[in-house]
Amino acid sequence: MYKSLKYLTITVLLTATLQAGGFALSGVGARALSMGGAFRAVANDWSTLFWNPAGLAYINETQITLNGIGIRPSASYEPNTGILGYDGPYSLREKVNAHPQTFFVPSFAYITPFEIAENRVAISFTVPFGLGSKWDLYDFPIGYYNTTDTTFKVPNYEKYDWQSDLSVYNIYLSYAKSFGNFSIGLSAGATRTSIMLRKVNFFDPATVDTSAHSLPIQYRLFPVDTKIEGTGWGFGGILGIIWKINEKLTLGASGRVYSKVKLEGTADLTLYFPYNDYLLSQMPPEKKFMFNGSTASGSGTFTTKLNLPANAGAGISYKPSEKLTLALDIDWTRWFTLDRLGVDFENLVLKVNNTIPLDTVKTDTLTLLWKNTYRVSFGGEYKVMPDLLLRYGLYWDQSPVPDNTITVLIPDPGDKYSVNLGLGYNWKNMEINLNYEYILPSRRTVERDSTYSYESPYLPGAYEMNIHGLGLNIVYKF
C-alpha cells in the first residue's frame, strides 16, 4: 500500500562525527593526541596498542593506565531544503545549532612484559569510533494542524527529531616481540558497536491516492519520526612494525582491519497525519484518518551489516636532541566500504492509532558513498625539565562525506585542521598527561541541485562545526 514507506526509515545510518574524518575519533591517548596523532613511529606509551602494537615491545614496565577525553562539538546548520517544516518560505529555522553536548570517551590498558624472549602482552579497551548529535530541526509547517476543534491536542512529537549516537569500542589483546632494532606487534580482539539514530522522513500521500496531488503544499509530505537502536559484535585487529634505524630516527607502520559487524535492535516509526476540518469533511470515511490529526506507529526489529573502515599508515620520528622529538604520520582510511547499507525490518507494522494496520515496512537501503581519505599528522615533544614535557601537534584530515549524501546528522564541514597542545609530568611511579585539542571552525555549503527532493540522501544547506577536546591520562607503573 504505502510504497513510499521504503524511503521512510533511515537514509543515513552512520553520521555525525565528533572528531576526525567520518565517525573516527582523533585517536587514543592524551600523549599521542597532543602530538596530533603522529605516533606510529614514536609509539612509546600505552596508546601504542592502538597506534602501532609493535611499540609494545619496547615497554619494559608493568603498567596500568586510565584515559578520558571530554569532547565538545559545536555544530550548526542553515537549512536550504525548500521543504516546509525545515525551511522554504516559512523557515522558523534560519539557523539551527546542535543541542550542546559534552561526550566522555574512556580508554584503559594493562601492560605487562614477559621476561622470556623479550615478549610483551597487554589488554586494552579503546574507542576508535564515536558520534553523537541532537537537533531540533523539523517543525510541522504552518497550517499542518489547522482546526477549530479546541479539544484537539497535537500528538507528542520528539523535540530532538534528528539524533545520532554511535560508539565502537575494542577489547583487544596485544602481543609484540622485538628483534633488536626491529619489532612487530599485533592487537586483536572483539569489537562492540552500538547505534541509535533518529530522523524525520516523509510520506507522500499521493503514493496512496493520486488526488492528493492537488492538496495544499503543507499537506503534501507527512512527517515520519524514525528511530533505530541496536548493537552488534565483531572482530578486529591491528598489525604494526617498528624499525629503529638509529638513535635518532625511527620508522613505524601499522594497519587496522575490522570484520563486518551485524547490528540488531529495535525500530520505531510514527507517522503524523495533519488535521484540517475542511479536508476532513471532504474525505470518505475510510480516509478520514488522513486529516484528523491521528498517528500511525509501529515497532519492530531491524538487522543490518556494517563495514567499519580499514586503515593503514606510516610514520617517522626524529630526535634531533635528547630533549626534542619530532614526528610525522600519513594515514589512509578506506571509507569507501561505507557505500550502501541494506536494512531489513521484521514485524514493523504501522497501525493507525495503534489499531488499524496500515502498512508493513520491510527494507531500506541507505546511501552513503563515502570516499577514502588521507590524514597527515605532525607533532613534537619537548622536555622542558626532566619530569615535565611540553607537546604540540597538528593534523589535516580529509572528510569522507560527499555533498550528495551529507545530512544534518553529520555536520561535517569538510577537511579538518586540528591544533593540539599537551603536557606530561612524571611523578614517582605515575605519569600524567594532559591534552587539549581544537578543531578549527570550518564551513561547508551544499547546494540544492535541481533533482533534490525529500527522498534525496542529503540535506542541502550550510554546515559549520568546531570542536574542543580535553584529555587526561594517568599511567601507573609497577
Partner 1 sequence: MRKFFILLPLLILALSCQKVDEIIGPEINEGTTSIVNIPATDANIGTKQAMVYLPPDYDPTKKYPVVLFLHGFGGNYLFWQSVEDVKGILDYMISSRKIRPCIAVMPDARNVLGGSFYTNSEYQPFANSVFGRYEDYIVNDVVGYIKAHYPVDSSEIYLIGISMGGYGALKLGVKHPDTFRGCASHSGPIAFSQFLLTIPGTNVNMIQAVLSEWADFGYRIPSTAGRYLGPSRPLSTMLFAMAGAFSPKVGPFSSFDTSNYEIPLDTVPGTSGTIWAGVRLPLKPSGDTNSVFNEWLSNHDVFTLIGTNFNNIRQHNLKIYIDCGYQDELFLAPHAIACHTLLGTLQYDHYYELFTDAPGYPAEDFPPRHATHLQIRVFKSLKYFLGE
Where along the sequence are the contacts to partner 1 (CB under 8 A)? 70, 72, 74, 76, 80-84, 88-100, 102, 136, 141-143, 146, 204, 206, 213-218, 220-221, 276-279, 423, 425, 427, 432, 434, 436, 448, 451-454, 468, 470, 472
Residue 175's beta-bridge partner residues? Answer: 121, 186
Closer of 90 and 382 to partner 1 (Cβ): 90
Burial of 46 (0-12, 13-18, 19+ CB in 10 A): buried
Closer of 5 and 261 to partner 1 (Cβ): 5
Closer of 84 and 327 to partner 1 (Cβ): 84
SS3 290: helix
Closer of 313 and 424 to partner 1 (Cβ): 424
CA–CA separation, 411 and 16 (whole Å)? 6
Report the nearest approach of partner 1 to the CB of residue 108 (Å): 18
Report the nearest approach of partner 1 to the CB of residue 380 (Å): 20
Neighbour tally for 385: CB within 10 Å:
10
Closer of 179 and 425 to partner 1 (Cβ): 425
**In 425-471, where does DSSP find H-type helix?**
none
Closer of 100 and 342 to partner 1 (Cβ): 100
Report the nearest approach of partner 1 to the CB of residue 298 (Å): 24
Alpha carbon separation from 53 to 33, 40, 48, 379, 391 (Å, rounded):
17, 9, 5, 19, 22
CA–CA separation, 317 and 41 (whole Å)? 5
Report the nearest approach of partner 1 to the CB of residue 418 (Å): 17
Closer of 84 and 406 to partner 1 (Cβ): 84
Q: Which residues contact 450 (CB under 8 A, 6 or more apart)?
A: none
Report the C-alpha dihedral over residues 297, 203, 304, 28, rounded to 10 degrees: -100
Report the nearest approach of partner 1 to the CB of residue 423 (Å): 7
Nearest in space to 392 (alpha carbons), one of 439, 326, 323: 326
Closer of 159 and 246 to partner 1 (Cβ): 159
Cβ–Cβ < 8 Å for 123, 173: yes
Report the nearest approach of partner 1 to the CB of residue 402 (Å): 20
Closer of 243 and 436 to partner 1 (Cβ): 436
Burial of 19 (0-12, 13-18, 19+ CB in 10 A): buried
Report the nearest approach of partner 1 to the CB of residue 99 (Å): 6
Cβ–Cβ < 8 Å for 298, 351: yes
Report the nearest approach of partner 1 to the CB of residue 264 (Å): 33
Nearest in space to 420 (alpha carbons), one of 31, 65, 131: 31
The DSSP bridge pattern shows strands 145-146 and 275-276 to be parallel
Q: Residue length, the chain?
A: 478
Report the nearest approach of partner 1 to the CB of residue 387 (Å): 9
Report the nearest approach of partner 1 to the CB of residue 448 (Å): 6
Report the nearest approach of partner 1 to the CB of residue 413 (Å): 17
Closer of 151 and 451 to partner 1 (Cβ): 451
Nearest in space to 85 (alpha carbons), one of 141, 135, 137, 136: 141
Q: What is the DSSP string of 246-287?
A: SSSEEEEEEEEEEPPEEEEEEEEEEEE--EEHHHHHHS-GGG
Q: Which residues contact 53 (CB under 8 A, 6 or more apart)?
A: 174, 175, 176, 185, 186, 187, 238, 239, 240, 254
| Grid cell at residue 206 | 499521493
